[in-house]
Amino acid sequence: MTIKDFLFAVINFVILFGALFLITRKMIVRMFKERKEKIAQDLEQSHQADLESQRLSTDVAQARDQARQQEDALLAETRAQVERSSREAEKLRTEEADALRRNAIQTEKQLRSQMHGQVSAQVIRQVASQAGETLKTSTFAPERQALVERYIEQVKEVVAAMPSDILNMNELKKLNISIASPEPLTDEEMKKVTQILCETFLSVRNEVDDGLVGGVRMQVGDTVYDGTLAHQLDRLSQEVEFNSRMDDQEELSVLESIREKLSGTDNSIDVYQTGKVISVSDGICHVSGLADVMAGEMLEFEGSLRGMVMDLDKNNVGVVLLGDFSTIQEGDTVRRTGHIIEVPVGEAMCGRVVDALGRPVDGKGPIQNDGFRAVESPAPSVLHRQGVTVPLQTGIKAIDALVPIGRGQRELIIGDRQTGKTAIALDTIVNQKGKGVHCIYVAIGQKESTVANVVRKLTELGAMDYTTVVCASASEPAPMLYIAPYAGAAIGEYFMYKGKDVLIVYDDLSKQAAAYREISLLLQRPPGREAYPGDVFYLHSRLLERAARLDEASGGGSMTALPIIETQAGDISAYIPTNVISITDGQIFLETGLFHSGTRPAINVGLSVSRVGGAAQVPAMKQVAGRLRTDLAQYRELASFAQFGSDLDASTQATLLRGQHMTELLKQDQFAARAVEDQVIAIFAANEGYADDVDLADMPRFEREAVEYVKQAMPELVDTICAGKKIPADMLDKLRETLKSFKETF
């Protein structure tokens, strides 16, 4: 390579390098500048990261300190909570122990009382038996002779011809008279007795029965004139066994009790009529004799069993047995009591659970009643009644607004099983707390567990203090189910005729009608429609007619009846439902479909009615709920047609929307009663359309908050409603403005 070529190559390289330098200089400068800026930015970020790390370290330290402080505070609070819980648990244990101790003391007293009565009865029976054996000895022969002579002298005053004896004399021209005594009467004694009876009676004979101990017992037809020692000792034993002792005598010894009973025994002649059991089956028996017995009279059987006369035939009477009849046999003696079947009544019945005869079944000891009242009593006269004008608030919006109930009214609750009939009745009872209304709940043919749950719930809510529960459970004989409603009505009438207000619930009368049908068929009465006897209408009419509101001259009391009827598959045209509907002043019909769809109470507005109407509503409720029934009925009708088409005009859509919100507003949980002023405010707000744009799920909150807002803003409105006055027009305008301002904040 020559020098020329070398120089040429060098020159070319220099030229090429210069050209490249000129071309890439700006790019290189920019690249180095960007790199420098990036390095500076990275350095700045690194510095910021260091600062952030320091700040985070500080925050972590602070958080650690705060966590330690919170931990210490939490531990301290936990210790305090544990101490409070321990104190509360100790207090609760102490209260439970005190309650158990009180229950144990009460149970011990009850057991002592029961044992005292049982021991007294046993000792009395043993003493009576020993006394009878002792009095049979020859030592007491003069006393026995004196007893016979005294009987002959006294029988002149008491012997008389009964109507049945006169009938037998007219038909048979003869009447058998037997005179029983432990020893044969002398000729002189028989002559004296015959002289007393010869004017009327024939065929007198003397029967010797050494079991009579002393004295004489004479039977004329069915009537017994008993002056024997054996009878007096037997009645003494029964009195100790069946009569409850007074509270101030509970500490008496058995010996003092016997001495007390013996000192009260008199030697007068006991006059009564007897009969003989000729057949018994399924709680029904037929008794011969007892020709003068009354319909509905209580009879005494051997032991503690009682019966009620239902049928009067020429040769025998039909009796329903009120209790366990397994010990009754053919040939047993039956004794008349002389009075219609009755139950104990009084203030002490409040808070107690009793059976159909008024006997306590709650284990709280005997009831100190104020007297007795016949279960079958006549209804108040038309002249002593007054109209139903005073509302009886149930606390249920759908009822108080649509089918109001007044004091003295008879409002039927009807529907299929498991539709909430009992729930409405219990809600009504609970809502009477503090309102001076005595409540009676008659459970007919229900399970004992169901009745126990009802009593427990009423006790928890404080409603048993003014409530009496009459229980005729499903395990009891049909006669007990039959008379239970009448017994409840008799207990309620005691308060009504004293000028007080009473609410009575019959749950339910369908089972009473079935029990009456069973009794009638066993008594061989001719069956009618659905095998019910012909007087089944009278069965319920004479019961429900006893509910009334008395005028001021008769005390001004009232008894409101809520009978319950169970239907089959919603058939309200069956025999018993139609009968009771025709007797009552309206009905609340509960529908199964509504219940299962979540509408509770499941009241069918179209079939439910109150024949008292607005007379049983407070004026404010009548004012705001006047068109509610019509609107709901129109909504139900449109809702059924709207299912078949989607092209609806604006008016129909507005009606459906209003109906949906109103239906949602009327829903209510059990035992969640609403005061009447709260109901008026809520219904007015929904009627005026303030809830139309509220979500259905928010309706309970809307109701609750709207009522509270209005009550705080307008206390005078609450006073007006509670005073039973209509709401003035200016107050209605103010209420609209108040609801409008509430709606802006909702």
Going from the C-alpha of 354 to that of each of 175, 350, 365, 469, the distances in angstroms are 45, 10, 11, 6
**370 annotated as a binding-site residue:** no
Amino acid (one-letter) located at 206: N
Stated length of the chain: 746
153-158: long-range contacts, CB 8 A cutoff, minimum separation 24: 154/227, 154/268, 154/269, 155/193, 155/196, 155/216, 155/218, 155/225, 155/227, 155/269, 156/196, 158/225, 158/269, 158/271
Asked whether 423 and 601 are in contact (CB, 8 A), the reply is yes
Task: For residue 422, say whether it is annotated as part of any ligand binding site.
Answer: yes
**In whole angstroms, what is the distance from residue 497 CA to residue 493 CA?**
6
26 token code pair:
């700006």
CA distances from 2 to 11, 236, 467, 596 (A): 14, 166, 137, 116
Q: How many CB atoms lie within 10 A of CB 79?
A: 10
720 is in an annotated binding site: no
What is the C-alpha separation between 354 and 559, in angstroms, rounded?
20
Q: Which of 125, 245, 335, 611 is catalytic?
A: 611
Looking at residue 602, the DSSP 8-state letter turns out to be -
- Is 417 annotated as belonging to a binding site? yes
- Cα angle 178, 179, 182 (rounded to 5 degrees) comes to 135
CA 430 remoteness from chain centre: 10
Residue 48 corresponds to which tokens in the numbers above? 């910021």
- Return the DSSP state at 726: P
2 is in an annotated binding site: no
Whole-angstrom CA distances from 685 to 29, 472, 625, 700, 708 are 80, 45, 11, 13, 13
Before 585, cis peptide (omega within 30)? no
What are the DSSP E strand ranges found in 577-622?
A: 586-590, 609-610
Q: Is 627 a catalytic residue?
A: no
Q: Of 156, 157, 224, 142, whose CA–CA distance to 193 is shortest?
A: 156
- Token pair 């500080």 is found at 58
Measured between alpha carbons, how far is 420 from 105 in angstroms, rounded to an integer? 39
Q: Report the distance separating Cα 379 and Cα 504, nearest Å.
A: 15
Would you say 421 is a known binding-site residue?
yes
The response to whether 420 counts as a known ligand-binding position is yes
Distances (CA, A) of 276 to 285, 328, 644: 10, 11, 72
Q: How far apart are CA 410 and CA 673, in angstroms?
A: 21
Closest CA to 265 of 470, 128, 114: 128
Q: Is 415 annotated as a binding residue?
A: yes
230 contacts 134 by C-beta, under 8 angstroms: no
Cα gap 557→26, rounded to integer Å? 114
For residues 196 and 219, give the distance between their C-alpha atoms in angstroms, rounded to a whole number.
14
Backbone angles phi, psi at 381, to 5 degrees: -65, 155
State the catalytic residues: 611
Annotated binding site for ATP: 415-422
Annotated binding site: 415-422
